[in-house]
Amino acid sequence: MVAALSAAAAALAGCTGGSSGAEPRPLAAALAADPPAFAPGAGVTLVPAFARGTARIEPDVGPVTSGGRYQVGPALEARTYRLIVEDGAERAEAVVRVPFAYRDAIRPLDPPGSARAQHVAVGLGDGRVLLATGSANISTFSWTAELYDATTGTSAATGELRLGLAAAAALRLADGRVLVAGGQSNFRDREDLAAVWDPADGRWTEPGALAQARAGHALALLDDGRVLVTGGAWLGRAPGSVVTEELLDPDAAASRAPAGSAMIHPRAFHTATVLRDGRVLVAGGLNSFSGGDAVEAELFDPVTESFALTGSLAHPRGSHAAVRLGDGRVLVVGGLDAGWTYVAEAELWDPDTGAFTPAGALATPRADHSATLLADGRVLVAGGTDVDGKRLDTVELWDPATRAFTPGPVRLGARRALHSATALPDGRVLVVGGEDGADALRQAEVYE
C-alpha 183/C-alpha 106 separation (Å) is 31
Report residue 260: phi and psi, to 5°.
-90, -155
State the DSSP string of 157-201: EEEEEEEEEES-EEEE-TTS-EEEE--EESS-SSEEEEEEEETTT
Domains of the chain (ranges; CATH) run: 2-98 (2.60.40), 106-447 (2.120.10.80)
At residue 221, the pLDDT reads: 98
DSSP tag of 6: H
Half-sphere exposure of residue 119, counting CA atoms within 13 Å on the CB side?
36
All residues at 6 or more sequence positions from 152 whose CB lies less than 8 Å from its CB, including other chains: none
Half-sphere exposure of residue 374, counting CA atoms within 13 Å on the CB side?
23
State the DSSP string of 69-138: -EEE---SS-EEEEEEEEETTEEEEEEEEE-B-----EEEE---SS-BBS-EEEE-SSSEEEEE--BSSS
At residue 19, the pLDDT reads: 44
| Positions in the chain whose pLDDT score sits under 50 | 2, 5, 9-10, 13-19, 238
At residue 254, the pLDDT reads: 82
- The C-alpha torsion from 135 through 322 and 437 to 110, rounded to 10°, is -70
C-alpha 91/C-alpha 349 separation (Å) is 52
At residue 351, the pLDDT reads: 98
At residue 2, the pLDDT reads: 46
At residue 15, the pLDDT reads: 47
CA distances from 364 to 313, 333, 388, 397 (A): 20, 11, 11, 12
Under a CB-based contact definition with an 8 Å cutoff, are residues 163 and 186 in contact? Answer: yes
- The C-alpha torsion from 124 through 125 and 128 to 132, rounded to 10°, is 20
All residues at 6 or more sequence positions from 4 whose CB lies less than 8 Å from its CB, including other chains: 32
Neighbours of 218 (CB within 10 A): 26
Closest CA to 397 of 329, 315, 331: 331
Q: What is the CA radius of gyration of the chain?
A: 26
At residue 114, the pLDDT reads: 95
C-alpha 279/C-alpha 258 separation (Å) is 14
At residue 17, the pLDDT reads: 47
Closest CA to 204 of 229, 177, 226, 171: 177
Identity (one letter) of the amino acid at 420?
A: S
At residue 385, the pLDDT reads: 98
At residue 23, the pLDDT reads: 67
What is the strand order of the sheet 227-230 is part of? 218-221, 227-230, 245-249, 254-256
What is the strand order of the sheet 370-373 is part of? 370-373, 379-382, 392-399, 404-416
